[in-house]
Chains A and B, each alone.
Chain A
């Protein structure tokens, strides 16, 4: 059986994913501390509008409003038992919008991190993490998601737990990590290590890559790291629209639609096949990205200098690969393990 995403990937060189969910919902009136997932039930029209914003701007894939719909995160809102139901609602609304689009649009069921650290370092057991991811995944499947979309993960253990849950529900999936700490994830995973991890899974994702993190430049450096490994697996690039800046009393992302259009073309030239935005990316940005991808010819793989020149500098000197990264010379003697 071929899923909707694999079909599109077979037909097209690149696919446009969506932009920011949170940014858009806050513009619609979501207030601090509210769980966005409650809106799947309370304000379905606004969630449809969120999805349509991406579809009308030319996205081939959009993510459902279910990022925080897992028991660990809903617990704060006294709604831990509602993970499956809220996920199902998110996907149902997505199915509705995608089926009315008049062209193939993939409903990707968003699965975010639990927010907890897994054992042995943290308190969450892998078995419980699998159980939580499975609830969310089951709801998304029931609601009609085409694929599951794991995002913003930083720990390998959590990534594996989600993969296991997705195998249990029998769904195709994609997965991205956030590389926001000196070129690595918060837990220290490099792009190369993530690429290897993906290939060790019994049910590898249809596509893998990076989302969120620091700025568009850093994200492209990570994509170049994936591409350098020679992977055949489609690469996903979902970067923020620049960097959040606190100016004149409010927060805004400094990435213009033009900058994100450059980012999209460079992401494709760097080797990404699924390209979208993350925080700060509006339908206006998506439109500019789509137009650029359609009109600009494929170019050579961008160099780091060209990326920095077009999109701004990197947040750290190195991406943690190779020998040029920071290191500590130590006294020697015994080491753990």
Chain B
């Protein structure tokens, strides 16, 4: 695999913008954190706005990673490495984005439901959502309804994400949604659910906005639902 011929060594700063962004897509794909950090700095030095670096270089690259994960070309280890590289770039951009008051793509609170300790799928969703530019607040495993409600009150997210990996814990998602309905909070949030034993029918039956088959689908769904929400708010 490795073609490390020194003559072919790529000097990022010598690439033009288009080539550099393409190279960053490859470097994200390969989980090369230092190269991503370098690429981000070069683009900033060339006068790119932080928001443009985020959306065009990083989010663009993670989109490819997400698609190949969905299609069975990449698997969990590669996605975790790519997400780690993405985080390196994000660490540079985050303070700049805050300074420039760039629009945020959205915010999500996510956690595995009560009784369930599985967090690999939930972690993947967190990382892919961050990779897509969302702000993610991860509540970890074993969350009771109170824990979700407190976090929503505190964080004011656009999206609530719930994960369950057991047929025995997935019904708890309905407990959370029913409580949100009872307290009049349900319509304030987009509710996404996921986990191996779930399917679309289940998502609909418990009153979620959508079931997401995997982390890549979660990102696509989140973007689509946020866009729809903004449109309806604008129209309303």
List A residues at the B interface (Cβ < 8 Å). Answer: 22, 26, 30-34, 73, 75-76, 115, 117, 121-122, 154, 180-188, 244-246, 249, 251, 316, 318, 320, 325-328, 330-331, 333-337
Contacts and interface: CB of A to CB of B under 8 A. Distances in A.
B73 A326 contact: yes
A75 B8 CA distance: 50
B197 A244 contact: yes
Contact of B77 (A32, A188, A251): A188
Given A246-B202, A320-B72, A33 B4 contact: no
Interface string B55-85: 0000000001000100111111110110000
A105 to B, nearest CB: 28
Given A333-B10, A335-B30, 11 more contacts: A22-B167, A22-B168, A76-B141, A115-B120, A117-B76, A121-B80, A180-B196, A184-B75, A185-B75, A335-B1, A336-B2
Contact of A33 (B9, B26, B118, B169): B169
Contacts of B114: 32-33
A330 B28 CA distance: 12
A246 B197 CA distance: 9
B22 interface: yes
A180 B196 CA distance: 10
B75 A181 contact: yes
Given A33-B114, A249-B205, A327 B23 contact: no
A281 B176 CA distance: 31
B121 to A, nearest CB: 9
- The A interface, classified by DSSP as helix, strand, loop or mixed, is loop
B167 A330 contact: no
8 cross-chain pairs, A with B, having the tightest CB-CB distances, nearest first = A33-B115, A182-B72, A188-B75, A32-B168, A336-B30, A76-B117, A246-B201, A246-B202
- The B interface, classified by DSSP as helix, strand, loop or mixed, is loop
8 contacts: A22-B166, A30-B168, A32-B115, A75-B117, A154-B76, A186-B120, A246-B205, A316-B72
Nearest to B169: A32
A185 B120 CA distance: 13
A335 B205 contact: no
A30 B75 CA distance: 34
Interface string B15-46: 00000001101100111100000000000000
Contacts of B80: 117, 121-122
B216 to A, nearest CB: 12
B13 interface: no
Contact of A335 (B2, B23, B118, B169): B2
A255 B2 CA distance: 46
A251 B76 contact: no
B23 A331 contact: yes
A154 B197 CA distance: 17
A140 B117 CA distance: 23
B104 interface: no
Interface in B167-183: 167-169, 171-172
B116 A183 contact: no
B153 interface: no
Contact of B116 (A30, A33, A117, A249): A33
Contacts of A186: 75-76, 120
B147 interface: no
Given A334-B8, A336-B31, A181 B72 contact: yes
